[in-house]
C-alpha cells in the first residue's frame, strides 16, 4: 500500500477483490488498449493515477526554478538594441495599463549581452554561469500571461487558474505519475534562508481538489526541522516502543471494524517513522565533495547565494531519490519593491536589484545543470526557469520597470528539450510577443509532454467538470523539443 492514501478516492481493497472475482478485469483491459503505436509508454509506480505514461517519457523529474516577482526579459534573455538607442524617448506604441501607472520613457538595458555557447545565444552578463550552459537551454522569448498582478499571476503560473483552490503543476505531476520514493513526497518545495512562498501563499503549492498527498511539501533546506514535525523530540527508541505499543491496540480495533482506512492509518505511522530518517538523510550534505559544494556556491560568503545553492544541491539529491517535481524558492534582497515573496520585483533600482538576484541564483543553477549532466541525470530531468511575467521596456520612475505580461522569456533545460534553441520573439522593444506566441498552458503542456503525459488526458473530475492543468487550452511547444526540425 502506498504511503499516501486518499481514503475517499482509493478503490477499497475489498472492492478491488470483489471486482476481480466478478471477472471484470476492466483495468487490465483499459491499460492494454492504451498501448498505442505512438511510442511505448512507461509503467508507473504504485499510487500513480495514470496506469502508464501516454507515450515514452523524455523526463522523469521536473525542477521548477521559480523567479518570483518577474524577471525582466529584456535585461536577461531577450536583448533589444533599440531600447538603448532610443533610451529616454517616449514609447512609440500604446502603453497598456500598468500596476503603478507611473509610466516613463523608453529605458535602455543597463546590462550587456554576450553570445554564449556554440549556439551563440545572447545572454545578459548578469548570468555568466548560466551562459556557460547556454547550449543546454531551450529559450522561449514569446511567453504571455493574461495577468499583471503578482498573486493572480503566480496562481495562474502554478495552476492555470488565477485564484486559489486549484491543483498546482507539481501536484498534477505527482498525482498523474506518482513517486518512485515511498518515503518522500512526490512534490517538494525547497526553501532556505529568507525564502518564502510567493504572493498568494502556500496555496500556490496546493493539491486543490486532487488527493492531499500530492500537495507540495515544504522542505526547509537549511533547518533542522526541514519538514514540519519531522524531528522527534525524544529518543527514537522511545518513539519506537510507543508505536509498537500503539499497534497492540490498533490491531484489535482494526479487526473489530475491518475498515480499510484504519489499516491505512496504521501503515501511515510506519511511513512517517521512516520519513524521520529519510528527510534528514536528504538534507545532510556532509557527504558531498568540497568541489561540489564550491561549484554550487554552498560555501559562498554571499548568504543568499549560499542558501540558494543549498536548494539546488538538494534538488539534485531529490532527483537522485526519485522525487517527481521540485520547486525552488528565491531568497529576498529588498531592492526596489522586491520583498521576500517577490524578490525580482524591481519597480525601481532595476539594475541593482536584478544584479543581486542574479548573483543569488546564477552560479547555483549553472552548477545544477552541469552537475546533473555529469551524473547523467540531465537527460531525465527537466529544468524550467520562469517568473510570473516580465518587465516593461519603458521605465517606472527613474530606474525601475513595471510588470509586463505581454511578452517575456522563460527557458527549459534537460529532459529532452533541444538545447541552444530560441523560440518565438517579441517586438523590437520587447513589449509584446509577436512571433510564435506561447501561453502558460503551452509551457505546462510541454512539460507534461516531456513527462510522457498528454496534457489533455490528465484530468480530474471535480464539481461538475473534468479539470486539467491546462484548462481547455495548451499546445506542446514542439519547436523546442529534441527531434524537432532545426
Partner 1 sequence: MRLLFIIITAFLITAFLCMLTAATLPCFAVDVLTNEQNDFFEARIRPVLVEQCYSCHNSTKQADASLELDHRPGLLEGGDGGKIVVPGKPLESRLLAILRHEIPGLKMPQGAAKLDKQVIADFEKWIEMGLPDPRDRPPTAEEIDKLTSWEVVLEKRKQWWSLQPVREVSPVSDVNNAWSPHLVDRFILDKLQEKQLVPNNPADANTLVRRLYFALVGLPPTAKESNHWVAELSRPHGYDALVEHLLNSPHFGERWARHWMDWIRYADSHGSEGDPSIENGWLYRDYLIRALNADIPYDQMVREHMAGDLLEPPRIDAVQGVNESLIATAHWRMVFHGFSPTDALDEKVRFIDDQINTFSKAFLGLTVSCARCHDHKFDAISQNDYYALFGIMSSCRPGRSAIETPEKMGLNRKVLHELKPRIRESISGVWLESVATLRDKLCRDDELWKKVDNKSVLFPWAMLEKDLSKGLSFADAWRNQSDVWEKSRTDREAVSRGQVLQRWNFARPDDLASWTRTGVGLYDNEPSTAGEFVVDISGDNALLGIYPAGIYSHRVSNKHPARLTSRDTKIDGEFDLWLRTIGSPLSSARFVVHDYPRKGVVFPTVDCKNQWQWQKLDMSYWSGDTIHVELSTAADAPLLVQNEPRSWFGVREVMIAPKGQSVPTDSSEHLDPWFEIAAQSPPHSREDAAGQFATAVEFAIQAWQKGSATDQQAILLDLCMKQDLLPSKLDELGDAKDLVSEYRRLEGEIPVPTRVPTLEETDSRTQALYVRGDHKKPGDEVSRGFLSAINASPYSTKQSGRLELAEDILRNDNPLTRRVIVNRLWHHLFGRGIVGTPDNFGRLGHLPSHPQLLDHLAARFQSQDGSLKEMIRYLVTSKTWQLSSRPSSAAIQADPDNNLLSHSHVKRLEAEAIRDSLLAVSGRLDSTLYGKPVSGDSNRRSVYLRVTRNALDPFLRAFDFPEPFSAVGRRDVTNVPAQSLTLMNDEHIASMATSWMTVLLADKATADDDRVRSMFIDALGRTANRDEIELARRYVESAKQTYAAIETQATELESQIQNRQSAIDQRLALGRAQILVESKVKPAIDDPICPPPIGRWDFESSAEDIVGSLHANLLKGATVNAGALIVDGKGYAVTEPLKQTLKEKTLEAWLQLDSFDQHGGGVMSVQSSTGGLFDAIVFAEKRDGQWIAGSNNFHRTQSFGGPTETEAVSRPVHIAIVYQLHGKVIGYRDGKPYGEPYQSNGPLEFKAGETIVSFGVRHLPAGGNRMLKGRILRAQLYDRALNPEQVIASAQSIAQYVSDSQILASLSETERKQVELDRSQVKEWKSRLEKLRPKNGHSSEIMAWSDLARAMFTFKEFIFVK
30 or 93: CB nearest partner 1: 30
250 or 380: CB nearest partner 1: 250
CA distance 367 to 129: 8
- Closest residue by Cα to residue 305 from 274, 333, 341, 327: 333
150 or 310: CB nearest partner 1: 150
Position among 119, 262, 285, 425 found at the interface with partner 1 (CB under 8 A):
262
The least CB distance from residue 79 to partner 1, in Å, is 27
Cα dihedral 439→443→449→451 (10° resolution): -160
355 or 468: CB nearest partner 1: 468
The least CB distance from residue 336 to partner 1, in Å, is 14
How many residues form the binding site for partner 1 (CB under 8 A)?
Answer: 97
Position among 94, 234, 287, 486 found at the interface with partner 1 (CB under 8 A):
234
129 or 199: CB nearest partner 1: 199
Of the candidate spans 82-90, 136-144, 371-379, 451-459, the one that interacts with partner 1 by CB under 8 A turns out to be 451-459
109 or 446: CB nearest partner 1: 446
The least CB distance from residue 262 to partner 1, in Å, is 5
CA distance 447 to 382: 8
Q: Please list every residue from 41 through 60 that binds partner 1, using CB under 8 A.
A: 54
Position among 114, 128, 135, 273 found at the interface with partner 1 (CB under 8 A):
273
Dihedral of CA 73/79/82/85: which sign? positive
129 or 403: CB nearest partner 1: 403
Residue 80 in grid coordinates: 533589444
Q: Please list every residue from 304 through 343 that binds partner 1, using CB under 8 A.
A: 332, 334, 340-341
CA distance 459 to 210: 10
Position among 84, 181, 271, 484 found at the interface with partner 1 (CB under 8 A):
271
- Give the three-state DSSP class for 17: helix
Does the protein bind partner 1 through residue 93 (CB under 8 A)?
no
Q: Please list every residue from 387 through 446 that binds partner 1, using CB under 8 A.
A: none
Binding mask 8-27 for partner 1 (x = CB under 8 A): x---x-xx--x---------
Q: Please list every residue from 285 through 304 that binds partner 1, using CB under 8 A.
A: 303
Residue located via cell numbers 507540495: 216
- Closest residue by Cα to residue 210 from 181, 193, 187: 187
Across-strand partners of 400? Answer: 396
- How many Cα atoms within 13 Å fall on the side-chain side of residue 430? 32
Of the candidate spans 120-128, 267-275, 281-289, 381-389, the one that interacts with partner 1 by CB under 8 A turns out to be 267-275
Distances (CA, A) of 134 to 55, 273, 284: 28, 43, 31
36 or 125: CB nearest partner 1: 36
Of the candidate spans 65-73, 107-115, 231-239, 417-425, the one that interacts with partner 1 by CB under 8 A turns out to be 231-239
The least CB distance from residue 256 to partner 1, in Å, is 6
Transcribe 94-160 into DSSP letters.
PPPP-SS--EEEE---SS-EEEETTTTEEEETT-HHHHHTGGGEEEEEEEE-S--SHHHHHHHHHHS
Position among 20, 165, 277, 374 found at the interface with partner 1 (CB under 8 A):
165
Binding mask 241-260 for partner 1 (x = CB under 8 A): xxx-xx-xxx--xx-xxxx-
CA distance 407 to 354: 18
Of the candidate spans 32-40, 137-145, 169-177, 283-291, the one that interacts with partner 1 by CB under 8 A turns out to be 32-40
- Closest residue by Cα to residue 385 from 340, 430, 330: 330
Position among 61, 150, 354, 391 found at the interface with partner 1 (CB under 8 A):
150
In contact, 80 and 394? CB cutoff 8 Å:
no
Eight-class DSSP state of 378? G
Position among 84, 114, 181, 261 found at the interface with partner 1 (CB under 8 A):
261
Binding mask 170-189 for partner 1 (x = CB under 8 A): ---------------x----
- How many Cα atoms within 13 Å fall on the side-chain side of residue 463? 7
Does the protein bind partner 1 through residue 268 (CB under 8 A)?
yes
Position among 463, 483, 485, 486 found at the interface with partner 1 (CB under 8 A):
463
In contact, 337 and 397? CB cutoff 8 Å:
no
- Give the three-state DSSP class for 482: coil
In contact, 308 and 222? CB cutoff 8 Å:
no
In contact, 333 and 399? CB cutoff 8 Å:
no
Amino acid at each position: 500500500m502506498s504511503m499516501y492514501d486518499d481514503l475517499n478516492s482509493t478503490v477499497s481493497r475489498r472492492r478491488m477483490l470483489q471486482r476481480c472475482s466478478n471477472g471484470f478485469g476492466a483495468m487490465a483491459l483499459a491499460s492494454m488498449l492504451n498501448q498505442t503505436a505512438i511510442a511505448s509508454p512507461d509503467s508507473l509506480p504504485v499510487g500513480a493515477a495514470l496506469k502508464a505514461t501516454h507515450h515514452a517519457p523524455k523526463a522523469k523529474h521536473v525542477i521548477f526554478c521559480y523567479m518570483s516577482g518577474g524577471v525582466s526579459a529584456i535585461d536577461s534573455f531577450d536583448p533589444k538594441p533599440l531600447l538603448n538607442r532610443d533610451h529616454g524617448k517616449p514609447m512609440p506604441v500604446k502603453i497598456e495599463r500598468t500596476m503603478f501607472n507611473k509610466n516613463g520613457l523608453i529605458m535602455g538595458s543597463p546590462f550587456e549581452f554576450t553570445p554564449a555557447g556554440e549556439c551563440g545565444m545572447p545572454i545578459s552578463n548578469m548570468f555568466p554561469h548560466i551562459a556557460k550552459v547556454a547550449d543546454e537551454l531551450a529559450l522561449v522569448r514569446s511567453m504571455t500571461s493574461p495577468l499583471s498582478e503578482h498573486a493572480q499571476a503566480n496562481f495562474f503560473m502554478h495552476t492555470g487558474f488565477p485564484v486559489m483552490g486549484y491543483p498546482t503543476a507539481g501536484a498534477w505531476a505527482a498525482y498523474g505519475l506518482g513517486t518512485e520514493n515511498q518515503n518522500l513526497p512526490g512534490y517538494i518545495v525547497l526553501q532556505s534562508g529568507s525564502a518564502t512562498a510567493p504572493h498568494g501563499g502556500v496555496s500556490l503549492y496546493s493539491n486543490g481538489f486532487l488527493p492531499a498527498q500530492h500537495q507540495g511539501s515544504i522542505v526547509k533546506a537549511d533547518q533542522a526541522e526541514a519538514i514540519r514535525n519531522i524531528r522527534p523530540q525524544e529518543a527514537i527508541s522511545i518513539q519506537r516502543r510507543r508505536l509498537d505499543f500503539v499497534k497492540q491496540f490498533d490491531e484489535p480495533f482494526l479487526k473489530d471494524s475491518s475498515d480499510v482506512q484504519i489499516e491505512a492509518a496504521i501503515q501511515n505511522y510506519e511511513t512517517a517513522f521512516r520519513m524521520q530518517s529519510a528527510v534528514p538523510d536528504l538534507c545532510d550534505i556532509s557527504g558531498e565533495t568540497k568541489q561540489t559544494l564550491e561549484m554550487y556556491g554552498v560555501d559562498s560568503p554571499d548568504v543568499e547565494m549560499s542558501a540558494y545553492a543549498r536548494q539546488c544541491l538538494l534538488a539534485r539529491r531529490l532527483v537522485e531519490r526519485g522525487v517527481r517535481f521540485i520547486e525552488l524558492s528565491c531568497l529576498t534582497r529588498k531592492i526596489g519593491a522586491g520583498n521576500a515573496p517577490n524578490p525580482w520585483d524591481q519597480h525601481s533600482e532595476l539594475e541593482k536589484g536584478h544584479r543581486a538576484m542574479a548573483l543569488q541564483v546564477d552560479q547555483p543553477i549553472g552548477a545544477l545543470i552541469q552537475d546533473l549532466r555529469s551524473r547523467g541525470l540531465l537527460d531525465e530531468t527537466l529544468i524550467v526557469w520562469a517568473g510570473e511575467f516580465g518587465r516593461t521596456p519603458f521605465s517606472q520612475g527613474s530606474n525601475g520597470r513595471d510588470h509586463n505580461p505581454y511578452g517575456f522569456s522563460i527557458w527549459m533545460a534537460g529532459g529532452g528539450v533541444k538545447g541552444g534553441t530560441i523560440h518565438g520573439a517579441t517586438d523590437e522593444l520587447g513589449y509584446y510577443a509577436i512571433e510564435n506566441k506561447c501561453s502558460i498552458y503551452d509551457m505546462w503542456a510541454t512539460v507534461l509532454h516531456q513527462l510522457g503525459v498528454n496534457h489533455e488526458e490528465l484530468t480530474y473530475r471535480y464539481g461538475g467538470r473534468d479539470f486539467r492543468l491546462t484548462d481547455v487550452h495548451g499546445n506542446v511547444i514542439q519547436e523546442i523539443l529534441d527531434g524537432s526540425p532545426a
